[in-house]
Each structure stands twice: as structure tokens, then as C-alpha cells.
Structure 1
């Protein structure tokens, strides 16, 4: 078995490999006005939410999502996001973009409108899926914002690691390596909410009418946990307790897909009570444990771009893992675009480390263990001396001890990456974040909680930052795109939506029956 150092030295023989990483970002943000959730429809001037390549909506009509193309250049990636933010703000009138992961003030769940994508069958299915989520988990979960980071290693990386292979062997080798990364991500990825978690507090309207076990403290109309890092990743948010019992394995692509398939095909007694179609009113896509595979709220996902109408799992089974989607980043409130260059540099290092170090298979005990570790970090991660249990011997060390172990490897990678790029950016990031290990109040959650206390609540600090960033968006000048390109994409997206709506021949019932035919096989 080749160890970490040997693999790193192997890759480092061709430093150009480090400059060819592919990255993409999906940033979510709520539209708001005067500190309250916007209840207006998705602005026409932003194009079709179903077809615009750069600007869409996520679960609710007010939750915008900005998507960058795949890029090997971090500066270009960030400038693309800046351009999209600028264009969007010019179309919002008095509305602004909420700068935090946890939502602004919401009068009631009735104000959370389902995202609308048009009258085509595919569009109506997207809306119905979201209606099912609202019925299952409540509407408030549908307006939490996050940042998703898409990442892949170049073919030159695999060439060095695996040598010459035929197409199928290369597919299998890549998938196996990415699942090794995923297992290590679950073991050590709590470092991401530790450093970059940005939701230690929330507006009290978020939990209206719900019981919670958390011992919250008050700041005005806001609630917080003194040592929390990311309430977004707690049971209140996307890592929710309903799914905590799922046993999805990560030891191979086949195990992952087989386990996911079982969950998708398993009926749920609780969700059956909601009903699927009552009269002419659809309430959810089906009453299984998951309506579709996207309902699995994972901190990281293996991905493959679907072709010719494939479902995501079909694409993975047919073509293997092409890239991974990191889903545990909160919106960074200290960046107008929700993410910084420093964070991307850290992710480059961490994901490289996670794929190069040994990754033992995970049994049921390990699956339970990583969930416990992540729960501890998101709820009380800034507690110095917090114990985490990791590894085949289930060793218990403090968060600080585990973090320093990881950083030993990150620094070695940083030296090679700085050699590849010139300069010292990667080592600088290691140096800065290493000081946060023993001083948790330097983390983003620590800084943000301090600011929240200063301004008197989540709403107050969100509005202060929102005002500042709105001015910045409007003053921005295009760097990568142009206004003409943005407007052309708006026009193209409306054309594509209209074309889809005109070419549908099936009824919606027929469309759903065809889509879910695999459930009855």
C-alpha cells in the first residue's frame, strides 16, 4: 500500500497537475426587504429560473442560487460570482441579498412560496418536489442558504497515480479514489464547519411553533448557542434527524448506489399520512423515504453529469464519479459573494489530503461515529478540549489534536502547491488557520457571534452587512462577463423555457408515471 508521502511525492513530479484542478461554486441567498423575507415572485429580469445557466432559484421562490461554470482559475471563478451578484442586484429594486445562512425575519410559513419553473412537466415536477419537502420537513428549512463547492482532479492527476488504463478501468479507479476521499471527508471534514461555520445564531422566527432541545440564549429577538459553529448543519437545518437513521455506505460506488436505491424504494408510514394526490391536488412526488435521490441531505456528494435524460444515480452507475460536491459550507458573511479565496485554497489542500492519505472502509459503527463528531462540532465546536473519536481503533483525541494532525499533511501539500503556482498563498492559509485551532473565537462563527451581540441580533447584523454589500454590488464593474452577455442569457433562458413548454406531449400524470417506473420494477 502506497503511503501519503509516497503518493504526494509521485504527484509532485509534475507540478502542473496542481494548477489544473477544476472548481465551480453554487451560492444561495435570500431576497429580502426591510429585514423581512421577500414574498415577490422571482424577478422577470433575471430570466427563467428553469433555464438560466447562472441564476436560478433553489427550494423557495425567494431563495436565489448563483452558479459558476467550471474553472481552473480561482480569480476567474470569484470574478464570475461578483459579476452575477452585480447583475442580479440591478434587477431587484428595493430588495437586497441576505448575507447569512440562516434566514431573515419571516412573518409565517405562509410567506415561504414554492419555487416556480413554468408549465412544462419537468418544471412542474421540480415545484412538486419542493412542495413535498415543505410538507415533510416544514417550509423554514427551504430558506436556509449555503455554498456548494464542486471539485475534480484533472486527468493528469489520475495518470500519475494509476498509469495508463482503458476507459472502464480508469472510471473504476477514479470512483474508488473519490470514495476514499468521501470517507476521509466524513472523518475529518468537520474542520470546515469549525473554521468556516457561520450560523451560531438564528432569528427566533425560524423556530416558531416548533419544539427544540437546544438550550438557546437570547440576543434581542435572536437565539444562539455560545459555542456553536453551524446551526445550519444541525438537526434544525439540513442534516436533519429524520435522515440520521439512514445507512448509506461509502465503501464503493456500488454500495453507495445500492443503499441509496433501497432508501428511495422504501415506503414511509409517516410520509404516507401526507398523501400523494388528494383529488387533483398533488402533495408530494411519492410517499417513500426519499422522493428522489436529491432529497438525501449529504455533507458531500459524488457526482456525474447526467446525459440523455439519465437520473443522477444512473449517470454515476454508467460513467462513475466525475467530481464531488462539498455541501457543508455556510455562507461566509465576511464576503459579499459568500465565499473567499482563502476558503477555496483550504479546500484545495484538504481535498488533496483526503484523497492521498489512507482511507479504511467504514462499518456501521464508523457511520454512527462521524455523525456524532459532526453534531458535536456544529453545536459546541468552539469548546476547547472537545473530544472526537475517529479511526479504526476509535481513538479519542481533542478537536485541537486531530486538527493539528491534519495540518501536518496540509502543510506538506501547500509547499508543493506554492511551488506550482509561485508565491506562498497556500502556506499562508495554513499559517492563518492553524492559529484558529487553539483560538476558536478567531473562527468565522466566533467573529460573527461577537458581531451579532454588538448589533443586537441576527436581523440587525444581517441588515448592516446587506446594506454594505448592496452598495458594493451596484458599484461593481464587470470583470469576466458583460451586461450584454447577462441579458443575452436572460433572453435565451426564456426562449428555452417556452420551447420546453410547447413540446410537452404527455399529461403530468403520464410524465410522473414514466419517471417513476423504476420504483415498481
Structure 2
């Protein structure tokens, strides 16, 4: 099944180009909800000591004023990315008082929707646009969905890889077109194998009952305060998580056949009015409630487990940036925050995810048919809700296949790639990580989702108490560790610089907000 992938690996080895597989860059984005000591969502504004959420490159906010987002620059390896992420956490903790960073993907929404403050970015047009977009998300999908947190794994192949790989494949044309084509093949394969990520790393098998706000559910009672599913891996990726159901109802689905198809499908959704959203109103009593009344306000509203990412210039739309410069990197968005890791993600996990991204890139990747799209969606949902059920069957090629058998097949095929990625490292981190994942396939009790339920049962605690306890443990870990003096000074200057940058943007704005939006969407 993986003959072409194996042949490509062998050709890279025979032409002494295997080192180009080790030239990739990785980056991390991690969302962390600020909570009070009782576990309720913090109502305080984004701390000024952390800088401007609008302009800071590494510390910003996502949907809510309380939902911090930590971002690393592109790094040469897992250890470097985690070191940078650790420094951001050590910098943050002394600047949030007694508040905690919630240690899980799923929140406890103790005060309901009214207790979720929407992020604010100042009164520049760019800042207003970010806030109005979030107001629109809350209106369309509800605010509860927007405070689910996750980790995004960003990956790009190194520059040396592309000419070597193009020569090995005997592909003509310019390198930019070739690169986009290969990255879109990678995106399709990451969707085909997407179920493997929640199985191995899903860490949201239970949820606080407050999150469902009294809505009916098929989830079982763990105790009086917690819902769960006994074989669930990632309820975040399941039916109660953030999804674009309305796009499916409208017949809008992103096209991953190629870059132009992807751009056109999203552009069409952004330009197509939605009667339902028109009823909500765009400007009501002089205040913007959403950016527009179309199926998507902007590209980011389309939820997917993977995204092709460009390098935008200034205020450039993502689709315009993709058309101009092509795919810069691929973002894997399906990683839960692991409560057993202080940073929410571990080093061994990153080695595996990097290997999986390259494996997806090197494999054949035909277009996704309508039947296969159905199978991909089914496999993700089934794994999210029942991934550890030993009898679970997934869909592949119009037939059923056991999750365990398929996983074993993939991990076995990844062995030679992991050996190449290890290079001369005596610790062989990629092969060691692969062995850990194989152990999880053999024994589902080793997965983070199973370990979380086991810890809750052993401590006789529901989700809220488990998450609060672990959050406190992580907080102590970061507060007790000293940040390097030079790094602290660098981060303090970055915070001050970002505040200056926001003030300058606000002072320079001359356009009326409606005209600013018109020009933005006219790109």
C-alpha cells in the first residue's frame, strides 16, 4: 500500500538527500484559558504586562479576553519549540496574579455564556475587526464553543528539500507550483489519517456539565458534575466540539484538490449571503454585530483539522496571500491539551507529529471523492467518541477496517522514515516515540484519554476538580522556575514594543470602519 512512499525514501537515500528530510521547521500555538482560583473563567482584562494582544507576536488572545494564545516562531526542532513555549509560560505566570492557566482543552463555564468575555484589541480598525469577528462567532455558534482550547502544530519542509524532491519525482514546472501541489497532497493525507491523532493524543474524554448548559446529551454521567464517554478520546473533536455544521447544510466544503480550488471554495463562502445570518443583522443600533452576513465572515471561520498557511504581508487576506505566495507551512489543529504535560504537549509527541507530517507528504495522495469525504468525517467522529473501543471499525476504500489494524499498518510503514529522521542521534528520539505510539495501539489504557479517566476515578473526582488540581500543580511548576534574565528582559521589551505599536496604529487610522472593511474584502 505504501510502495511509492518507500521508493521515494530509497531514492532520497541513494542520492544522499535523506538529510533534507531533517531540515524542517516546527512551530507551536497553544491556547490557555485564564481562570480564577475556583476554576471559573477570569473576568479580568488581558494583562498589560503581557503586552498588546493585537500586535505581540508570541502572546495574544484567541476568542475570549481570558483565552491566552502562546505562539512560538518557527524552530529547528521539538526541544527548541518547547523551550520557547516554556519561557512564555514562565514569563506569564508572575503577571497574572493568583489566576491559573487551565490545564485541559475543555473548560468549565460556571457562569454560562455571560461569563465569557469577548477579546478586545483597542480602537484601531484592525483591532475592531478582530473583536467584531469574535462577536459574530458568538452570535452564530454560541460563546461556549469558542473557549475550547487546543494546540496547533505548524510544520514546513526546509528549503533544501524541495529541489531534491522535485528532481527525484521527475516533476517539471516551477518550484512554487510543485511545492503547493505537494503540500496539498500532504493536507489530504493528514485528513485521511486524521483519526490517528485523537486516538494517540486525545485528552478530552470528559466534560464539565456546565459546558453543555443544560442541553440534552447522549453522554453518560461520570458523577453529578461530569459527563463522559467510556471509550472517548477527544470530545473536543466530537459532536459537542467546534464545528461548521452550517457550512455543511449550505453545501460549502473546502476543496483540497489544489490551491486554486481551496481559495475559490473559501472565497465563495465568504461572498455568499446566509439568510440565517442576515436575520441576526450586521450593524444594529449603530454597532457592528458581525463582519458580514455571509456563510463565512472570513477564512478563519472555516473549521478544519488542517489548514494550508501563507505568509501574509501587512493586512493581506489569507486567500490573497495564498494566491500570491503559495503555502508557507501546514497547520495541524487537532491536538488536545494534555493535562499530564505542564506545557500541554510533550517532546516525544512532537517527534511523532513531525514524522507523521512528513509521512503524509511523501505518500501518494489522490483527490478526495465525495464517498471518501464522508469516510474521513465518520472516522474522526467515531474515534473522538469511541476510539478506545476494541471493536471500533473505521471506513477505508468502501470497506470497514479495525482502527487497531490500520494504526499498526501506518506505524509499521513509518519505521524507516523515523530511522532517517533520527540520523546519528544516539537517543533515536523518533524511533523511541514511534515505539511509544505502538504501545498505545497495543494497549489503549496508555493513551492520555484513558489515563485521565483513570486518574479521575482513582481520586474520586469529577472533571472540574481534576482539571483544577492539575492546573494548580502546573502553576506551581512554572512559578517556582526562574526565567533567564536576558530572556525576561527580551520579553519585557517585546511587551512594551507591542503596546507602542498598538498606540501608533490607533493614532494613524483615518478610514471609517465600514470603508476599512470594504477595502479589506475587496482584495
TM-score normalized by the length of structure 2: 0.95
1:388 is matched with: 394
> In 2, distance between residues paired with 1:408 and 1:481?
44
Q: Deviations over 1:94-144 (max 9, x none)?
A: 101000000034212111011011110000010000000000000111111
8 A contact 1:264–1:290 mirrored in 2: yes
CA deviation after TM superposition for structure 1 residue 15, in Å: 3.5
8 A contact 1:387–1:398 mirrored in 2: yes
CA deviation after TM superposition for structure 1 residue 169, in Å: 1.2
* 1:463 maps to which of 464, 468, 485: 468
8 A contact 2:266–2:299 mirrored in 1: yes
2:261 is matched with: 255
CA gap 1:75/1:264 in 2 versus in 1, 3 angstroms: same
CA deviation after TM superposition for structure 1 residue 156, in Å: 1.4
1:501 is matched with: 506
8 A contact 1:147–1:331 mirrored in 2: yes
CA gap 1:117/1:481 in 2 versus in 1, 3 angstroms: farther
> In 1, distance between residues paired with 2:234 and 2:337?
10
> In 1, distance between residues paired with 2:331 and 2:484?
26
1:28 and 2:31 correspond: yes
* 1:330 maps to which of 328, 332, 336: 336
* 1:195 maps to which of 183, 187, 200: 200
CA deviation after TM superposition for structure 1 residue 365, in Å: 1.5
2:312 is matched with: 306
CA deviation after TM superposition for structure 1 residue 150, in Å: 0.7
CA gap 1:168/1:94 in 2 versus in 1, 3 angstroms: farther
> In 2, distance between residues paired with 1:442 and 1:208?
31
- SS of the residue aligned with 1:331? coil
CA deviation after TM superposition for structure 1 residue 210, in Å: 2.9
> In 1, distance between residues paired with 2:456 and 2:326?
44
8 A contact 1:109–1:139 mirrored in 2: yes
The answer to which of 80-89 and 269-278 deviates more is 269-278
> In 1, distance between residues paired with 2:242 and 2:424?
37
> In 2, distance between residues paired with 1:199 and 1:343?
16
CA deviation after TM superposition for structure 1 residue 422, in Å: 4.1
1:443 and 2:447 correspond: yes
The answer to which of 243-252 and 425-434 deviates more is 243-252
* 2:273 maps to which of 247, 254, 267: 267
1:488 and 2:460 correspond: no
> In 2, distance between residues paired with 1:378 and 1:156?
37
CA gap 1:479/1:353 in 2 versus in 1, 3 angstroms: farther
8 A contact 1:83–1:480 mirrored in 2: no
- Which sections of structure 2, spanning at least 5 residues, go unmatched? none
Aligned 1:468-479 pairs, distance under 5 A: 468-478=473-483
2:190 is matched with: 185
1:218 is matched with: 222
2:65 is matched with: 61
1:152 is matched with: 156
CA deviation after TM superposition for structure 1 residue 516, in Å: 2.6
TM-score normalized by the length of structure 1: 0.95
- SS of the residue aligned with 1:90? helix
1:114 and 2:118 correspond: yes
- SS of the residue aligned with 1:150? strand
> In 1, distance between residues paired with 2:501 and 2:491?
15
- SS of the residue aligned with 1:482? helix
> In 1, distance between residues paired with 2:440 and 2:358?
21
CA deviation after TM superposition for structure 1 residue 395, in Å: 3.1
CA gap 1:408/1:249 in 2 versus in 1, 3 angstroms: same
* 2:239 maps to which of 235, 248, 260: 235
CA deviation after TM superposition for structure 1 residue 358, in Å: 1.3
Aligned 1:6-17 pairs, distance under 5 A: 6-12=7-13, 13-17=16-20
* 1:357 maps to which of 360, 363, 369: 363
CA gap 1:287/1:307 in 2 versus in 1, 3 angstroms: same
CA deviation after TM superposition for structure 1 residue 441, in Å: 1.8
> In 1, distance between residues paired with 2:12 and 2:312?
30
1:295 is matched with: 301
- SS of the residue aligned with 1:284? coil
1:418 and 2:413 correspond: no
- SS of the residue aligned with 2:332? strand
> In 2, distance between residues paired with 1:477 and 1:180?
44
1:371 and 2:373 correspond: no
Q: Deviations over 1:310-342 (max 9, x none)?
A: 210111111211110010000111111111111
- SS of the residue aligned with 1:273? helix
8 A contact 2:109–2:115 mirrored in 1: no
RMSD: 1.9
8 A contact 1:247–1:364 mirrored in 2: no
8 A contact 1:61–1:116 mirrored in 2: yes
8 A contact 2:199–2:233 mirrored in 1: yes
CA deviation after TM superposition for structure 1 residue 420, in Å: 4.7
8 A contact 1:227–1:383 mirrored in 2: yes
8 A contact 1:300–1:326 mirrored in 2: yes
* 2:166 maps to which of 162, 168, 179: 162
* 1:38 maps to which of 39, 42, 54: 42
CA deviation after TM superposition for structure 1 residue 166, in Å: 12
> In 2, distance between residues paired with 1:138 and 1:407?
39
Number of aligned positions between the proteins? 515
CA gap 1:365/1:253 in 2 versus in 1, 3 angstroms: same
- SS of the residue aligned with 1:100? coil
